[in-house]
């Protein structure tokens, strides 16, 4: 009788050896969703700022992962590959006519209403982090994405290079510029909060 889940050692094997088995794709996809689902939703939310859209993007990410599993070459970790797919899905979504027509109204309403505790509670643990997150979300996308990936997702520069398909120096420059922008914004809004 076939099992519907894979054991922890099998999942560790896929992470360590950077391959994606084409057989038992359903089992592997389930494991990927269990291990990275919340991270992908959080990453998508940092781009689109809408919980429902972020969940849809995460779902689309895993559909593409399933569909294109054979395209995974093992040049990076599976997490890096998934993040790259998710970011591309986010960018596609932000370019879509639906987003341009409908979502800006939802974003404005989300900022006016009390934040929903499910997705945003990960970020909003204190007043300082709340102010910081609001400032991060206010950054232009190219700066916001490097801050989110490096500081909130704890990814190394090398991993961010693979995800965003950028050179390490470009990422470092964007991080420096983003930190400067955040520091100025926070000092202006909070009267001198130290971001260091």
| pLDDT digits 0-9 by tens, 136-177 | 888 888 999 999 899 888 899 999 999 998 999 999 999 999
Domain span(s) for CATH 1.10.1740.10 in the chain = 9-115
Residue 179 has pLDDT above 50, yes or no: yes
What pLDDT was estimated at residue 25? 75
User: pLDDT, tens digit, for every residue of 24-51?
Assistant: 778 888 889 999 999 999 999 988 888 9
Domain span(s) for CATH 1.10.10.10 in the chain = 123-196
Architecture field, domain 9-115:
Orthogonal Bundle (1.10)
Give the CA-trace dihedral at 150, 154, 160, 163, to 10 degrees: -120
CB 146 within 8 A of CB 155: no
Q: Which residue has the tokens 């979300």?
A: 137
For the segment(s) 123-196, the CATH number from 3.30.565.10, 3.40.190.10, 3.40.50.620, 1.10.10.10 is 1.10.10.10
Q: What is this structure's pTM? A: 0.64
CB 144 within 8 A of CB 90: no
């Amino acid at each position: 009788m076939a099992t519907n889940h894979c054991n922890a050692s099998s999942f560790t094997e896929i992470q360590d050896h950077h391959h994606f088995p084409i057989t038992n794709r359903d089992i592997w996809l389930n494991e990927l969703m269990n291990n990275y689902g919340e991270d992908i939703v959080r990453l998508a939310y940092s781009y689109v700022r809408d919980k429902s859209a972020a969940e849809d993007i995460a779902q689309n990410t895993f559909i593409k992962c399933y569909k294109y599993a054979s395209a995974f070459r093992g040049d990076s970790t599976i997490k890096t590959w998934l993040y790259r797919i998710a970011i591309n899905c986010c960018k596609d979504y932000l370019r879509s006519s639906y987003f341009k027509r409908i979502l800006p109204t939802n974003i404005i309403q989300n900022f006016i209403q009390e934040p929903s505790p499910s997705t945003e509670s990960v970020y909003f643990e204190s007043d300082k982090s709340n102010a910081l997150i609001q400032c991060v979300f206010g950054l232009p996308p190219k700066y916001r994405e490097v801050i989110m990936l490096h500081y909130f997702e704890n990814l190394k520069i090398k991993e961010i290079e693979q995800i965003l398909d950028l050179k390490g120096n470009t990422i470092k420059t964007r991080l420096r510029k983003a930190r400067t922008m955040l520091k100025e914004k926070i000092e202006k809004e909070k009267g001198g909060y130290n971001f260091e």
